[in-house]
Structure 1
Amino acid sequence: MFDSLLFDLMLVILIGILSQWVAWKYRMPAIVVMSVAGLLVGPIFGLINPQESMGDLFGPIITFAVAIILFEGSLNLDVREIKGFSKPVGRIVTVGAFIAWIAGSLAAHYLAGLSWEVAFIIGGLFIVTGPTVILPLLRQAKLKPRPAAILKWEGIVVDPFGALLAVFAFEFIKFINSEVTLKALLLFFAASAFAVFLGWIAALVIGNAFERGSIPEYLKAPILFVVVLCTFVFSDEIMHETGLLAVTAMGMKMANMRLTTLNDVRHFKEDISVLLISGIFVMLTASLDPKILIEIFNPSIILYVAAMLFVVRPLSIWISTIGTDLNVREKLLIGWIAPRGIVALTVSGYFASILLENGYEDAELLTALTFALVFSTVVLHGFSIGFIAKKLNLTTTDESGVAIVGGSRFSAELAQSIKDTGNDVLLIDQSWAALSEARKRGLDSYVGDILSEQVEYHIDLTPYRYMLSMTKTDTYNAHVCADFAPDLGRDHLFQTAFHVGKDVETFTIMGGQTLFSPSISIYSLEERMHAGHVIRKTLLTKQYSYTQYLRERDDKSILLYILRADGSIEFFTPQVELQAVAGDAIIALTSPAKTIERVKERLEEENGEKEIPYEKLEELFTEEPPSGKREIPGAAPISTENAK
């Protein structure tokens, strides 16, 4: 009834995006969900077979998708960040990758029975540990900073180079088997150099056009998309299979041009990459022949997967990290965790079709072989990383760090108070200016959109147990909390109250818990800061209880959080009534009344008990000096108040 190419395309895209949503909702690896979905609609129930229905279009669609995916991945290779690599990371992405290529190729030939040509191509491709898979695992396991950083940057750096290594291996072997002359071999390298040059020129032209404002905002993303495809096709027409090299070079060049306008197209390239990855992955798995699928359980393939898991990966890590400061526990964990991702499967599907066209019949097993390795590593590593990390004492289980979304004077004051307790704190905002107060105080900050996938490539959110969304856009705050609910849990997500005039009844997004007690909007908090309110810490003792504090506190004060005796923190909300005991401290935003009284008493003592007008003191708290900073004698942004 629905046997048409249009229906198949619709179903592929629908299943791919639905799988991504299910993975996000239930905190599952997206690649596992998409694999199961593709197999169900394809070889198991036979609802669709994209390769048959698309015919000659199947190959070009896969090729274009791989080119765009590699370009998007290479945009993360900023040399400024690579320069900051520690010695272990540098060794792993160079020496370790080379050892993994050689050892993986040997395993593919001797254990899986692939020819030398196909084995070296697949061996190069399998050095990758995709960031799209490793980053969610790191968030889940809450690793300590060093092993987390090594695994993260290995995935980001090696991801595009695995495909390039496979390209070079393929071209080199093709020339060798054709018994070509030295001239032809040199021609290949010249064409590869031209591909790099073409990608570099394309990046330079489009980047400068963006910066000069020669392209309107609404055309930036579409034009970039078209330039990527043109660069790929022109290079590939000059010499086959060099197009991937051209788009990777283009992405790397643009990543290092310090383009301010890259942020303008970030959402587009992320959206198109997610759409392509989801669709292509389902297309490949749904197109698997049931006979090839059965081959996954072939003893030789199972033996190959076992060798990659227990021999090749640990061997490459242990050898490459000799002489580094990694300890045995870190080597054991890094040597085990190496999940292959979506890029590995999509690129292997691309090479499978190319190799079959060139007469390599054993390439028919490439997709099944890749699927077996990808599925095994994602499942085994995904479900074991937390357990193994805890056993090796490489997790950060006691962190109470706070990530604050939204830059403002109040958020900077709050962050400073949290930092003073010894807990990690990070401020995030899309505006550089909004974080000016945070920078003045030397607080950690990041300029970017927390809802962007690229944030995970640049900052490590693992140390932060809580996330407070305090921007001046209520809907954005709710979206932030909804987006991070699967990762942090709704108990650790908070947002400021809706500001006056917001029609909350029509707003249905389930965000985080409302911050502070009583609840208050960020607008009101900012007004109080400008009126002289300060964040004060009150230590509870056996003589001065929490009940007494609540009874005597200023009725205008806002309860912010409790600093427990062990250093952890808990935020006040209207929904949950917290209790505090002796040794805990209450942090609250209070009016300047008490501080004025204290300063008044101090100044009167210094002036021989001469009466000082109250109005004169109040001016210190209600007027902003020309410098924008308020100096209050005898007062500090955060102080300790004890029972008398």
Structure 2
Amino acid sequence: MATAAATGLDPVLGFALVGALGVGSQWLAWRLRMPAIVLMLAAGLAVGPGLGLLDPSRDFGDLLQPLVAIAVAIILFEGGLSLNVRSLADAAAGVRRLVIIGAPLGWAASAAALHYVAGLDWATSSVFGGIMIVTGPTVIAPLLRQARLRRRPAALLQWEAIVNDPVGALAAVLAFEVVLVLNTSAGAGHAALDFALGIGVASALGLAAGWGLARAFATGRVPEYMKVPVLFGSVLLVFAVSDSVLHESGLLAVTLMGLWIANVELPSYVELRRFKEHATVLLVSGVFILLAANMDRATLAALDWRAVLFVAAVVLIARPLAVLVSLIGSPVPWAERLLVALTGPRGVVLVAVAGLFGERLAEIGVADGARIAPLAFALVGATVVLHGFALGPLARALKLTAATRPGVLIVGGSAFSLALARALDKLDLPVMIADPNHAHLRRAREAGIETFFGDVLSEEAEHRLDLVRYEMVIAASDNDAYNTLVTTDLAPEFGREKVYQLRRSRDSSRRHALPATLGGRPIGPDETFYQVEARLAEGWEVRTTRLSEQFDLDAWRAEHPDAVPLGQYSEAGGLRFVGPEDDVEKGEGVHLIALAPARKERRASA
């Protein structure tokens, strides 16, 4: 133990530190409403070159590169698993252009910036320029979650990031093979054959594995409890076999594998994807902290004014040029083009692949290969911080956010749903009522409330509804079982603390009571759907009251002793719904939402 302590941190303790920092950064970012990537970058630099507590190359040795490679493969597989072709919708034309036209343009523009601004030779610039096509799904996903973009610009950025990740890695492989031929005695024909063989094997392996797994899962050849382990094992096997044929081709193989599985409509697809998303959050955190901690002070000190100009050239010239030229003549509006052009964060894959190719270039005598790693880290660090803080304000300035205020999705076209929707609408909060019965939505449409005719759990709703506009779900249909199904299914997406439903009719019976893992939180009175509807039929209404210093919560309770609070809203605290056992917060400027008897003047007029 003394020897291990003298040579560095114990590997087990090192992995524990990485995990704690990764998850801690994600949680702290959620609490502070900051980009998680920025905090992970800061944490990695602090424990690595800052304090010297963690040196991944020293502490993990030869395990570091394989661990990072496997983690990146799983991250890309999960990215492919989230790319359902139907989700493209009207973004398809833009994505095709960004990949087919934008990627080569980005390669050329990035290589030019590396050569003329950073001062690298053409051999190194061509290899690194290919890697810079990658815009990083590991960074895009958290940024999109925080910025709350509209569906189409979010789809453009997400699809481009995931598809271009393996494309960028393979572009670097192609450029490296050319450099290898020029600097060694290797034959050009042999190098081209190796490259073509690698691409063919990767594509065949990925698609075959996706088809085989999808068929095995659909026909019951794999038991439910074994599906996730089989999936993980298959990803690792496909990645390793493909990578052994051609370095970095494994990224293409696992992306195609995930893309195939995402588009065959497996019954267990949602469960598989959710588990993969949880694993990816851990892997993204861990890999990013490892790569940041692995930087040394000498490498960071080697960054000079040319590195700053290089980053500026990439962000302000190379990226916008490639995007805007590729989208000429496309149906993508100019605001969305500008947003995509100015949003190009780089992440884990770029740093990992750049470091690998930098070492290989140095090994064959290309001196500038050693400069790739620090430039890659500078680009990743700068774009992560820049886009982490700028994407939200930029999207709001271009009016491309889904909603600036918390929205509410109400399931069930009942009288209670309409009354609550009207109250929320008066507060200028986005609200929508969804119901599979067209007649139940008639009064809502007449009142000018946005509606969705269909089942919110259907695939059509997933592709047509921009759910990012809504922060909360209230299930208020006349079917208790359906309300429970809706809140249970949507809880992982919205958060269990943000899905609500009225009390079930038989909850008081132990025989029919459901476990806490099913259903949503209670809202309003401890009453069933029919009891609340009866109140409304008797003249009760949902209304809002603004509390002030002169008319506080106590004064409101004294004036409305029978009223039942449903929720509250303020600019500072946001929207919050309450149940029968929850307390309403006091405060000036709070809008109280309550179910109350009709005012005296209304009863008199009635």
Residue of structure 1 equivalent to 2:421: 418
Q: Equivalent of 1:133, from 132, 139, 142?
A: 139
Q: Which residue of 2 aligns with 1:210?
A: 217
Residue 291 of structure 1 is matched in structure 2 by 298
Counterparts in 2 of 1:641 and 1:125: CA distance versus 1, 3 Å: farther
Are the aligned partners of 2:216 and 2:222 in contact in 1 as well (CA < 8 Å)? yes
Equivalent-residue separation in structure 2 for 1:136 and 1:236 (angstroms): 28
Equivalent residues in 2 for 1:223-262, closer than 5 Å? 223-262=230-269
Shift in alpha-carbon separation, 1:316–1:185, aligned structure 2, 3 A: closer
2:523 to 510, 515, 529: 515
Corresponding letter in the other structure for 2:263: N
Matched, 1:304 2:310: yes
Give the distance between the partners of 1:347 and 1:133, measured in 2 at CA.
16
Cα distance in 1 for partners of 2:176, 2:433 equals: 47
Q: CA deviation at 1:111?
A: 1.9
Q: Does structure 2 retain, via aligned residues, the 8 Å contact 1:344–1:370? A: yes
Q: Which residue of 250, 254, 270 maps to 1:263?
A: 270
Match of residue 618 from structure 1: none
Q: CA deviation at 1:300?
A: 1.6
Q: In 2, distance between residues paired with 1:642 and 1:308?
A: 70
Aligned counterpart in structure 1 of residue 124 of structure 2, from 107, 118, 121: 118
2-side partners of 1:263 and 1:478: how far apart?
11
Structure 2 residue aligned with 1:631:
none
Question: 2:104 matched to 1:98?
Answer: yes
Change in 2 beyond 3 A, CA 1:119/1:460:
farther
Partner amino acid, structure 1, of 2:229: P
1:466 and 1:166 map into 2 onto residues whose CA distance is 44
Q: After TM superposition, give the deviation of residue 427 of structure 1 in Å.
A: 7.9
Q: Which residue of 2 aligns with 1:374?
A: 380
Alignment gaps of 5+ in structure 1: 429-434, 450-454, 486-492, 541-549, 592-639
Change (3 A) 1:474 1:18: farther
Closer/same/farther in 2, CA of residues 62 and 401 from structure 1, 3 Å limit: closer
Q: Which moved more, 1:265-274 or 1:388-397?
A: 388-397
* Letter paired with 2:523: L
Sort the Cα spacing of 1:460 and 1:53 in 2 relative to 1 into closer, same or farther, 3 A: same
Deviation at 1:104, TM superposition (A): 0.8
CA distance in structure 1 between the aligned counterparts of 2:576 and 2:67, rounded to whole angstroms: 51
Deviations 1:241-276 (A, max 9, x none): 332222222122222222222223223322322222
Q: TM-score, normalised by structure 2?
A: 0.74
Residue 228 of structure 2 corresponds to 221
Q: Which residue does 1:197 correspond to in 2?
A: 204
Q: Distance in 1 between matches of 2:345 and 2:93?
A: 22
Shift of 1:64: 1.7
Q: Deviations over 1:521-554 (max 9, x none)?
A: xxx43454798976989699xxxxxxxxx99999
Render the CA deviation track for 1:176-215: whole Å, top value 9, x for unaligned: 6544142552343033212211111111111111111111
Contact 2:75/2:284, CA 8 A, preserved across alignment: yes
CA contact (8 A) 1:338 1:377 kept: yes
Q: Match for residue 35 of structure 1?
A: 41
Report the AA paired with residue 6 of structure 1: V
Of 4, 14, 22, the residue aligned with 1:16 is: 22
Partner of 1:165: 171
8 A Cα contact 1:38 1:282, kept in partner: yes
Assess, with a 3 A threshold, how the Cα gap between structure 1 residues 552 and 276 changes in structure 2: closer, same or farther.
closer
Counterparts in 2 of 1:354 and 1:417: CA distance versus 1, 3 Å: farther
* Paired residues, number: 550
- The answer (yes or no) to whether the contact 1:554–1:590 under 8 Å persists in 2 is no
Structure 2 counterpart of 1:625:
none
1:45: Cα distance to partner? 1.7
State the distance in 2 between where 1:535 and 1:160 align.
63
Paired residues of 2:38 and 2:385 also in contact (CA < 8 A): yes
Q: Which runs of 5+ in 2 are unaligned?
A: 442-451, 477-482, 544-556
Classify the secondary structure of the residue corresponding to 2:53. Answer: coil
Query: Quick one: structure 1 residues 421 and 38, their matched pair in 2 at CA, closer, same or farther if it must change by over 3 Å?
Result: closer
CA change 1:180–1:386 in 2 (3 A) is same
Matched, 1:313 2:319: yes
By how many angstroms is 1:60 displaced?
A: 1.7
Once the two structures are superposed, residues 110-144 of structure 1 have per-residue CA deviations (whole angstroms, 9 ceiling, x without a partner) of 22233434323332332333344334444544556
Which amino acid is the alignment partner of residue 287 of structure 1?
N
2:584 to 566, 575, 590: 575
Q: Distance in 2 between matches of 1:242 and 1:155?
A: 17
Name the CA shift for 1:349/1:16 in 2 (closer, same or farther; >3 Å): farther
Larger Rg belongs to: 1
Q: 1:181 to 1:337 in 2, by over 3 A?
A: closer
Give distance in 1, aligned partners of 2:201 and 2:260: 15
* TM-score between both structures, scaled by the size of structure 1: 0.70
Structure 1 Cα separation of the partners of residues 289 and 243 of structure 2: 26
Question: 2 CA distance for matches of 1:240 and 1:346?
Answer: 13
Secondary structure in structure 2 of the residue aligned to 1:260: coil
Letter paired with 1:443: F
After superposition, the C-alpha distances for 1:25-56 in whole angstroms (9 at most, x for unaligned) are: 22222222122111122122212211123222
Change (3 A) 1:462 1:268: closer
Code of the residue aligned with 2:272 in structure 1: it is: V
- Correspondence 1:336 to 2:339: no
Question: Which whole-Å CA distance do the structure 2 matches of 1:474 and 1:32 have between them?
Answer: 35
Residue of structure 2 equivalent to 1:616: none
Q: Percent identity?
A: 37
Q: Which residue does the alignment assign to 1:600?
A: none
- 3-state DSSP of counterpart to 1:215: coil
Aligned mates of 1:152, 1:537 — CA distance in 2: 47
| Cα distance change of structure 1 residues 149 and 71 upon mapping to structure 2, 3 Å threshold | closer
Cα distance change on mapping 1:235 and 1:473 into 2, 3 Å: closer
Q: Is the 8 A contact 2:11 2:59 kept in 1?
A: yes
Residue 292 of structure 1 deviates from its aligned partner by 0.6
Letter of the aligned partner of 1:319 in structure 2? V
Mapped partners of 1:289, 1:306: distance in 2: 23
State the match for 2:547 in structure 1. Answer: none
Partners of 1:403 and 1:468 within 8 A in 2: yes
Alpha-carbon spacing, 1:144–1:643, altered in 2? closer, same or farther (3 Å)? farther
TM superposition shift of 1:291: 0.8
- C-alpha distance 170-262 of structure 1, shift in aligned 2 (>3 A): farther
CA contact (8 A) 1:128 1:159 kept: yes
What's the CA shift string for 1:546-579, capped at 9, x where partnerless?
xxxx999997x9776899xxxx999787616899
Q: Of the candidates 109, 122, 126, which is equivalent to residue 115 of structure 2?
A: 109
Separation in structure 2 between the aligned mates of residue 371 and residue 330 of structure 1, nearest angstrom: 28
| Structure 1 SS opposite 2:528 | helix
Shift of 1:415: 7.2
* Residue 453 (structure 2) pairs with residue 443 (structure 1): yes
- Over 3 Å counting, the alpha-carbon distance change for 1:145 and 1:65 in structure 2 is closer
Instruction: Note the C-alpha offset of 1:480.
Output: 6.7
Residues in 1 aligned to 2:245 and 2:537: alpha-carbon distance in whole angstroms: 67
Choose which of 13, 16, 23 in structure 2 pairs with 1:7. Answer: 13
